[in-house]
Amino acid sequence: MYNGNGLQTPRGSGTNGYTQTNKFFVQKPRIMETRRLQDDDGVVGGFIKKEGNKEIFEHQRKRQIQLKLVMLEDQLIEQGYTENEIAQKLEETKHSLEVTAAVQANNPVT
């Protein structure tokens, strides 16, 4: 056994126990997948970047907004605001954060 690969003992396995790496295994890039384009003439063009999943980006954006709201709520509780005042300020802040995030994403929210 070498580097955790292979058999602990070759006895009874029908092999000599020699292990080697797979030289033909190529991993894809994990973040961006690129593919070559070919025209009808067979000419290779540029590369295409695979866009990320929009639903995941939207979910991350919502989580960031929720995190900011929780931190604000903790600050307001420490400062001694009432529950009604806290709820009102959180609602105002949530709306302003959503509008700001929508403008940054070029996706206006009404």
Q: What average pLDDT does range 10-29 have in this prediction?
A: 73
Instruction: Look at residue 11 and tell me if it is in a domain.
Output: no
What is this structure's pTM?
0.51
Instruction: Look at residue 110 and tell me if it is in a domain.
Output: no
Instruction: Look at residue 34 and tell me if it is in a domain.
Output: no
Range of the domain at 69: 54-104
Buried/exposed 21-38: b ≥16 CB within 10 Å, e otherwise? eeeeeeeeeeeeeeeeee
Instruction: Look at residue 60 and tell me if it is in a domain.
Output: yes
pLDDT of amino acid 47: 55
Instruction: Look at residue 10 and tell me if it is in a domain.
Output: no
Look up tokens 């001694």; give the residue.
Answer: 80
Question: What does the alpha-carbon distance between residue 77 and residue 94 come to, in Å, rounded to a whole number?
Answer: 17
Question: What does the alpha-carbon distance between residue 69 and residue 89 come to, in Å, rounded to a whole number?
Answer: 10
- Count structural domains, the chain: 1
pLDDT tens for 15-24 read: 777 777 778 8
Q: Are strands 44-49 and 34-38 parallel, antiparallel or unpaired?
A: antiparallel
Instruction: Look at residue 9 and tell me if it is in a domain.
Output: no
Instruction: Look at residue 14 and tell me if it is in a domain.
Output: no
Instruction: Look at residue 33 and tell me if it is in a domain.
Output: no
Where would I find the beta strands (DSSP E) of 1-110?
34-38, 44-49
> pLDDT above 90 covers what percent of the chain?
35
For 45, residues 6+ apart whose C-beta sits below 8 A from its C-beta are 36, 37, 38, 39
